[in-house]
Chains A and B, each alone.
Chain A
Amino acid sequence: MTAQAVAFGGSSLEPAAASDALLAVTGLSVEYLTPRGPARAVQDVSFSLRPGEILGLAGESGCGKSTIAHATMRLIKDPGFITAGSIRFRDVEVLNMSSGALRDFRWRRVALVSQSAMNALNPVLPVGTQIVDALMAHERIGRRQARRRAEELFELVGIEPRRLRSYAHQLSGGMRQRSIIAMALALNPEVLIMDEPTTALDVVVQRDILQQIEDLQARFGFAILFITHDLSLLVELSTRIAVMYAGRLVEVAPAEELLMRPLHPYTKGLMNSFPSIDGANERLEGIPGAPPDLVSPPSGCAFHPRCPSCTGEDRSLYRLQTSSRPELQEVAPNHWVACHLYR
């Protein structure tokens, strides 16, 4: 555990707050003000992203995963507040950066493809103009050079360069998403944060784009933080997977390991929520109940009202589950769980 992690009482995830981590988030906490009180969207979250790694972040809507993406890029605005934690990129503290350093950091080192990216394209400008403008704003290159680069980028993501002249509404959903990805890759970032990039797309287009992302990642070697509510996508794509619930990490493991041996009841419940097209057509239960209220979450372990292992049969266990919050612990090599069942 690094000194900083100890200072904030946050659980550092691995000793990889050490030098080989590209992005190291430690003890991050973010709150949103609501009329009913502060909603703790992110509580004491720590993880690190190594070069070339694909880290998947899974959780239901409202669990705080998008907030983490925005916090990393310093995009949290009123009524949101970062209340604790540190975000270090190559050992430089992002939350302290001056505006010059921030400008260099955003888009050039870390790029964000967010959920509403498709609607972020300006409807009255051709797509090419937007890419060229963004390029020229961040690099000292002329318009023609920027144009050529934009064409290269479009080819890279599999769109014909002549579509640079198209307007956003003339492109299909898949193409719009590809152009957003092209923009994100424009300055060769080292980290790409993708927040639900394929949620609104059809399944064939989704598969296409995910393949594209994998190809680009293999070619350019950037790290990806892939955020989604659809765990089935992460299982195929990621190196490691982190599962969030009610603003906290509840399980982190290599993808293979998580698939084979999910430990946290929530993860198991999620795995039990995906019907498959092959194999036996078994009955699946999903997870009963509804996502927790982040303003007044359940006491103790936030998952306990929905947990099949919280039955009250074992009195001492039940007391723990309802009163004490479980901490992330490494229960197997590289496999961390926050659950009272594994003490």
Chain B
Amino acid sequence: MAVAEQSSVVMDVQGLTKHFPAGRSSLLGGERRFVHAVDDVSFSLHRGEILGLVGESGSGKSTIARVLSGLYPATAGQALFHGQDVLKLRGRRRMLGYRSRVQMVFQDPFGSLNPVKTVAYHIERPLLIHHRTKRGSATRERLYELLRTVGLTPPEDVAAKLPNQLSGGQRQRVSFARALAVNPEVILADEPISMLDVSIRMGILNLMGRLRQEQGLSYLYITHDLASARYLCDRIIVLYAGHLMESAPAEELMREPLHPYTRLLLTAVPKPRQRQGRVRVEARGEIPTVVSPQPGCRFANRCPNVMDRCRVETPGVAEVRPRHFVRCFLYDVPSVEGRSAPGTGVGNG
């Protein structure tokens, strides 16, 4: 990131790594195995910025959100939030403090709300926990205000409803209201629209944009849909099999995708406004689940531009255009094993 912007960085993630245990290599003893869900991902989130994490299933994007929200401990790396490493927070009070600044919205509009509790309960709980207000008119007022902010009116009626009395879009708005209750600085939005009907999605995306403008929120927008990422985000990061493959401002990524995987994604996205000129996608193979990583690029066996080098050395991340980072030997990047090309060190996302 350019030095001049340093002061407005809200969260600075360096080398985030998360491995999950996956049994042992043989029945009795043997090495312990791990699934490498996320390996060495680095990025910065600025105030008022919407940063998109784009990747298919298995890319690690949801895991990143869950680690940053404190649901999982990280295996390695750090996440500096206002200078403090939140991956190493100890103590309920510190955690609570962090949770009043960084909130999360989930993918499943039904599963993320408690089916036996009213809307009022969902939104009042964070108010009561964090601001220690007693149940009373002040809390009620704030509840109604939040419901109005997310476009659920009349708030008195909505507050008494149970989740199964609301549509999918309304439930997601309740989730946003819940997240906003604590006046957070950052919202981690984990695929907030992918389970909603198509016609309702834009409403939620526009809501997110409006909240960013009105309240100065920053978002981490996690999605598999490049098109919605382009619509909403200032900057997009492309993930594959736990590795950051490319990171660039949104428009530049669309105009000039550098990484072959990004190009593959762009050709695969349905283009609703054209019927002619559909490019055939020829990359077969599936996204690997990385268990015992070998050296080499994780995209190598699906890459149309693969070179011999890609199979034996792992490319590192480097800034090959201004503010445009990529992890690919087609460009001038160092290798993780420390060989050849000079350039910025690994992990300076």
A touching B, CB within 8 angstroms: yes
Which one of A9-17, A130-138, A206-214, A313-321 is at the B interface?
A206-214
How would residues 197 to 235 of chain B score, 1 for a CB under 8 Å from any chain A CB and 0 otherwise? 111111101100000000000000000111110110000
Residues from chain A with a CB closer than 8 A to the CB of B200 are 286-287, 290
Question: What CA separation (Å) do A277 and B267 show in the bound complex?
Answer: 10
Question: What CA separation (Å) do A85 and B224 show in the bound complex?
Answer: 41
Q: B270 near A273 (CB under 8 angstroms)?
A: no
Q: A256 near B201 (CB under 8 angstroms)?
A: no
Query: CB of B92 within 8 A of chain A?
Result: no
Query: CB of A57 within 8 A of chain B?
Result: no
Residues from chain A with a CB closer than 8 A to the CB of B205 are 275
Q: B197 near A61 (CB under 8 angstroms)?
A: yes
Which one of B135-143, B179-187, B283-291 is at the A interface?
B283-291
Interface residues of A in 107-160 (CB under 8 A from B): 158
Name A273's contact: one of B202, B224, B274 (CB within 8 Å): B202
B204 nearest in chain A by CB position: A286
Question: What CA separation (Å) do A263 and B227 show in the bound complex?
Answer: 25
Q: A273 near B199 (CB under 8 angstroms)?
A: yes
Name A202's contact: one of B56, B230, B254, B272 (CB within 8 Å): B56
Query: CB of A39 within 8 A of chain B?
Result: no
Interface residues of B in 134-155 (CB under 8 A from A): none
Query: CB of B336 within 8 A of chain A?
Result: no
Residues from chain B with a CB closer than 8 A to the CB of A220 are none
Residues from chain A with a CB closer than 8 A to the CB of B199 are 60, 269-270, 273, 286-287
Check A274/B198 contact, CB under 8 A, given A211-B281, A232-B270, A235-B272. Answer: yes
Interface residues of A in 277-314 (CB under 8 A from B): 277-279, 281, 283-288, 290-291
Interface residues of A in 220-275 (CB under 8 A from B): 229-233, 235-236, 255-256, 259, 269-275
Q: B273 near A203 (CB under 8 angstroms)?
A: no
How would residues 193 to 218 of chain A score, 1 for a CB under 8 Å from any chain B CB and 0 otherwise? 00000000011111110010000000
Name B287's contact: one of A202, A229, A270 (CB within 8 Å): A202
Q: A275 near B268 (CB under 8 angstroms)?
A: no
Cβ of B122 to closest chain A Cβ, rounded Å: 19
A61 nearest in chain B by CB position: B197
A290 nearest in chain B by CB position: B167
Q: B198 near A230 (CB under 8 angstroms)?
A: yes
Question: What CA separation (Å) do A290 and B173 show in the bound complex?
Answer: 13
Q: A206 near B198 (CB under 8 angstroms)?
A: no
Question: What CA separation (Å) do A300 and B32 show in the bound complex?
Answer: 65
Q: A256 near B281 (CB under 8 angstroms)?
A: no
Q: A285 near B169 (CB under 8 angstroms)?
A: no
Query: CB of B265 within 8 A of chain A?
Result: yes
Query: CB of A34 within 8 A of chain B?
Result: no
Cβ of A38 to closest chain B Cβ, rounded Å: 20
Query: CB of B341 within 8 A of chain A?
Result: no
How would residues 256 to 272 of chain B score, 1 for a CB under 8 Å from any chain A CB and 0 otherwise? 00000000111111111
Interface residues of B (CB under 8 A from A): 56-57, 167, 169-170, 197-203, 205-206, 224-228, 230-231, 251, 254, 264-275, 278, 280-281, 283-284, 286-287
A/B interface sample: 30 pairs, CB < 8 A:
A60-B199, A202-B57, A202-B224, A202-B287, A203-B226, A204-B56, A204-B264, A204-B268, A207-B270, A207-B281, A230-B198, A230-B270, A235-B272, A236-B270, A236-B271, A236-B278, A259-B275, A272-B202, A273-B199, A274-B272, A275-B205, A275-B230, A276-B271, A276-B273, A277-B230, A277-B269, A284-B202, A286-B200, A290-B167, A290-B169
Given A207-B270, A236-B271, 17 other A-B residues pairs in contact with their CB atoms under 8 A: A173-B57, A203-B265, A230-B198, A232-B270, A235-B273, A236-B270, A270-B198, A273-B201, A273-B202, A274-B198, A278-B271, A284-B231, A285-B203, A285-B206, A286-B202, A287-B200, A290-B167
